[in-house]
Amino acid sequence: MDILKQVNDIFIDILDNDDIILTGTTTALDVEEWDSLTHIQLVVAIEKHFKLRFTSMEIRKWKNVGEMCNDIENRIN
């Protein structure tokens, strides 16, 4: 399963919204439930799912879901 699909499934689960469809350009402004508190849950769920850890510096650089997925791909490959 590609990384975006896996991340999409995590968003659906954490944000409890089956209608979420992420793209590379999706940002928090595009997803109503994605706020500062749920962002923490999302990042932790992603780190657990992909068995990796990001630093606060790394995640601050993400401008959209695509950049998040690129970082995940770079770390797991």
Partner 1 sequence: MIQPGTTFHQIYKVDDSIYNGFVNTFLDRNPLHTNEEFAQKKGFSTRVMHGNILNGFISHFIGECLPTKDVIIHSQKIEYVKPVYLNDILELTMLVADYFESVRMLEFKFHFENQQQIKVAKGEISIGLI
Q: Which residues bind partner 1 (CB under 8 A)?
A: 37, 39-41, 43-44, 47, 53-56, 58-59
- CA distance linking residue 10 with residue 67, whole number of Å: 16
Residue 33 CB contacts under 8 Å (≥ 6 apart), including other chains: 15, 16, 17
- The nearer residue to partner 1, 1 or 37, going by C-beta atoms, is 37
- The nearer residue to partner 1, 19 or 49, going by C-beta atoms, is 49
Instruction: Quote the least distance from Cβ 10 to partner 1, whole Å.
Output: 14
Q: With contact defined as beta carbons under 8 Å apart, do 58 and 71 qualify?
A: yes
Instruction: Quote the least distance from Cβ 59 to partner 1, whole Å.
Output: 5
